[in-house]
Chains A and B, each alone.
Chain A
């Protein structure tokens, strides 16, 4: 389902298994549990890297298992907690998109502070428009918060565009692309080390991120109280 590994100050969360890493209730619960575990032991200088292996980063919610719409909305609600956790995480977060990331899988990746992708493989794809499904409220707010270009948002959300690596950089969706899974992984670790070296205060970092994405934090119920400056 997912594994959590600690490598000095880096926490590496990896989606595992065969089912295109589809976000089933079990996987969502496992990710949430892993995130809470990281949060409980993270210190200033810690960084989270979320990655996956193989052809897919994640192909979205596990719709095949869903017979009733109520089950689907249950998964949407439990994923909300994952996104809320990531958006209020006290340490920098990096998603490493080594394969296709579709729908909720794209959302999971986008919920991180930095997004790195493969240049030579994989697309980002919001499939909902093609599947004839509406977007949950927090999905839309996340896209508005994280993707600055109105045209890019339109193409991705309304146009169902399948966005490859280079394009994703041009559209301002991802921070960089690398050829090959190994080089991508190395780039992520390098970025994580640079960010970790700044040793940011977790409470302050969390509050800063909230200041960057206020609408998103409100819709996720992830608004924290005032924190006092420590001079």
Chain B
């Protein structure tokens, strides 16, 4: 499902299974949440989280197959709702993690999978493979409230938001950089992972105070914090 590895200052969260499309099922959601809380409990100055995956997909979104296999349509809807609600704390955890976060998107990231990547401070993806895709408009699924807010918070370009959310455009690496969705796109899995590690090292070397980092990040996204039920603390008096 997922592993959490500590490598010096870094916490490396990997969605596992080469042949998996890493669908955010209740089990994987619980595993990721648990891993994030574990990383948070061990955080020190200079910690950095890197989230990545294996194979063709970063994550293909919620496990709609599981939802549809329910006994009745209304049970199917309840299953989807369950995943939507249990994924919300993951976004909340990432937005309030007391360390910088980097998503290394080595494959396709669709729907909630795209949301997972976007919940990180920095996003790198491959330029030779993989797309970012909000499939909901094509699947005829309305967005959970916090998805719209997340995309409004993280995608600065109004045209990009329209193309991604309203047009369901499948965005490749180079385009994603141009639209300001990702921070960089690299050719090949090794290069994108290398870029992720390199950035993580630079961020770690700043040895930021995790609590301050968290509060500053939250203050950047007040609407997102509000919808996730995260209180934005009054700024702590700096120690001058």
| Distance, CA A205 to CA B137, complexed state (A) | 7
| Pair A200/B138 contact, Cβ less than 8 Å | yes
Q: How many residues of B contact A (CB 8 A)?
A: 27
| Pair A204/B167 contact, Cβ less than 8 Å | no
Residue A145 interfacial (CB < 8 Å): yes
Given known contacts A148-B157, A172-B158, A231-B73, A209 and B166 CB-to-CB distance under 8 angstroms: yes
Q: Which residue of A lies closest to B75 (CB)?
A: A231
Give the contact stretch, choosing among B48-56, B90-98, B141-149, B230-238.
B141-149
B128 to chain A, nearest CB (A): 26
Residue A214 interfacial (CB < 8 Å): yes
Q: Which residue of B lies closest to A205 (CB)?
A: B137
Q: Which of A172, A214, A227, A228 contacts B157 (CB 8 A)?
A: A172
* Cβ-Cβ contact count across A and B, 8 Å cutoff: 70
| Distance, CA A117 to CA B141, complexed state (A) | 32
| Pair A231/B77 contact, Cβ less than 8 Å | yes
| Pair B140/A113 contact, Cβ less than 8 Å | no
| Pair A208/B165 contact, Cβ less than 8 Å | yes
B135 to chain A, nearest CB (A): 11
| Pair B136/A204 contact, Cβ less than 8 Å | yes
- Counting chain A CB atoms within 10 Å of each CB, the highest count among B136, B165, B167 belongs to B167
- Return chain A residues, CB-CB under 8 Å to B156: 148
| Pair A204/B137 contact, Cβ less than 8 Å | yes
16 A–B pairs (Cβ distance < 8 Å), ordered by A: A146-B158, A148-B157, A172-B158, A175-B159, A200-B137, A211-B143, A211-B148, A212-B161, A212-B166, A229-B80, A229-B140, A229-B141, A229-B142, A231-B64, A231-B73, A231-B77
